[in-house]
Amino acid sequence: MGKILIIAGSVSDLELVKKVEEVLKEFNVEYEIQIASAHREPFKVLEVLQKADADVIIAIAGLSAALPGFVASFTTKPVVGLPREVKLGGLDSLLSMVQMPPGTPVGVVGIDNARNAALYALQILALKEKDLEEKIKRYRNMLKLEERMEKVVEKSE
C-alpha cells in the first residue's frame, strides 16, 4: 500500500497534523510525520523529501504558507496543501498555496480542513489501490447515512 508524508512547517501546526493522522489511521494507511520550515530550515525540508518513501505529500502551513509550493518545486509527487488559519482568517495561507506559478501545482483544500486533506491524499493513492478505493466509497456512504439520520432526528425533535 502507498505511503503519505505529512510535513508541517511548525510545531504550532501539530493540531492539524493530528487530525490528518486520525483519518489515515481509520483507513490503515502508512504515513510519516515531519516538522520542517521552508523559511527557517529549507535544507531540512530538502533532506526530508530526499529520504521520504511517500507517494503523496500533505504540506501544512500558515501565514505566508510557502511550504507546499516549496515542496512541490522539488518533487513530481502530488502535493496536497493544507492552509492553516493564523491571521486574516487563513486567507493569506490559502491564497499563497493556490496562486502557484504554472508548472508547480499544489492541490489545496479548505482552511484548516485536515479531514479533506487526508481524504484527498487517500483518493490519489486509491487510483492504484482498488481496496482503498472501496474503503473510501464505504466511508462516503456512511457519511450520507449519518447525514440522513441527523435529518430524521431533527424532524422528530
Q: Determine, yes or no, domain membership for 83.
A: yes
Q: Determine, yes or no, domain membership for 53.
A: yes
Q: Determine, yes or no, domain membership for 147.
A: no
Q: Determine, yes or no, domain membership for 149.
A: no
Contact 66, 95 (CB under 8 A): no
Q: Which DSSP symbol is given to 32?
A: E
Q: What is the CATH number of the domain that holds 44?
A: 3.40.50.1970
Q: Is the confidence at residue 64, as pLDDT, over 90? A: no
pTM over 0.85: yes
Q: Determine, yes or no, domain membership for 82.
A: yes
User: Residue 71's closest CA among 106, 117, 101?
Assistant: 106
- Number of structural domains (the chain) is 1
φ/ψ (deg, to 5) at 73: -75, -15
Q: Determine, yes or no, domain membership for 76.
A: yes
Per-residue confidence at 147, pLDDT binned at 50, 70, 90? confident
- 84-136 pLDDT, tens digit per residue, is 999 899 999 999 999 999 999 999 999 999 999 999 999 999 999 999 999 99
Residue 61's pLDDT is 95
